[in-house]
Each structure stands twice: as structure tokens, then as C-alpha cells.
Amino acid sequence: MWAVILFVAAAATVNAATVAGRLAEYGPMARARLAPHFQRAGVAYPPKELCLVGLKEERRLELYATWGTNTLRFVRAYRIQAASGKPGPKLCEGDGQVPEGFYRIEALNPNSRYHLSLRVNYPNQSDREQARRDGRTQLGGDIMIHGSNVSVGCLAMGDEAAEDIFVLAADTGLKQIRVLLSPVDFRVRRLPQDAPAFPAWVAALHQQLAADLKRLTR
């Protein structure tokens, strides 16, 4: 019995993919797909800085990048294939909400159940501090930008888009990436009238998101 368990564990270790392996497998195709978009934007590849903008209501993930200046330029957008929840931030484990706020990519997962994934650093320090003020615990986690077309609390991008974003993130460097997750594109619309009631502090968060979005032009 122990021999079988050890064999299975060893096989899983041998077969586990690495980031380097995934880059070798998907990198050439992903970079070829990304190249014309970076050329049109006038941004060298890989960029100096990358901003991923997730717009929940619009089901849209936008890429902005910069190279020689501090101005982020629109590169391209992807359709979010699936995302659960309603407008409003994630408050607790199991609420099905996609977070809202300002985040980072903290890890790349080459062995995701959903093809490839990028781990968002929810809950971040701001989330934890606000939860302490509210008296909330069990904030949840494991928020990903991933492949496939199913999701609960994450952003499912489809496999090809996930390959592009995974490779781009690896080539750029995780420390050079920020993520903005907003309930709507505040540049062109307001929250829907049937949006649920939010805690009082959410209005200030949405104002900050709106201000950052308005600095980005397509």
C-alpha cells in the first residue's frame, strides 16, 4: 500500500508543470498574438509596467502597459467568459463576489485546474484593515484570473486569453503588475440602479477606482 502511495506521489511530482515549462509550451504563440497589439500601442515588449483592469459589469479585462514613459497605454481587451456575484466588493468567504479595489499578482500557477492561472493578492492589507474595523472574519481568498469558462469569485478568461496573460505577466515580472477591479467602467457609466446596498466605506473605494480609471484612456 505504501509503495502505491509513494509511486503516485512521485508520479505527480514528475508530471507537475513549472512556470518555465509553460512558458516554453505557450510562450511563442502567446507572444505572437500579443505582438501586433503592442506594436499598435507603441509599447515595447515586454513592458516596463503592466496594469490589468477588470470591469465586472462589462465583463471586460483591459491591458495597459508602459515602456519609456510613465503613461500607461491601452494595449488590448479580453472578454471575461465568466464571473459570479454582483456590484460590490468581496466581504466574506463564500459570498461569490469578485473583489473590488487595487491589487497585485502574487503568483503564477502552471498547474491550475482551469488551464493556467494568476493569483490575485486578495485579501490585501486594505481588505484586512477594513474587515477588522467592521468586525468581519473569514474573508476568503484564492482569487484567480484563469482559463476555462466557469468561475465563482474569480475571472474566467478562456484558455487562449489565460495563456496570453500568463506569459505576459511572467515576461513583465510580477512586481511590475498592478490590478484594478471595478464594479463598472466609471468612465462611461454609473452603478446600476438595482445595485445592492453597500457598507458606507464602499463609496470612497468606488471614488478612488473612478479616479484611477479616468487616468486611463483607450
Catalytic residues: 146, 154
DSSP state for residue 195 in the 8-state scheme: P
Residue 80 CA: distances (Å) to CA of 4, 10, 27, 147, 151: 41, 36, 21, 10, 10
Taking the C-alpha atoms of residue 161 and residue 51, their distance in angstroms, rounded to an integer, is 16
DSSP state for residue 183 in the 8-state scheme: S
Taking the C-alpha atoms of residue 51 and residue 105, their distance in angstroms, rounded to an integer, is 10
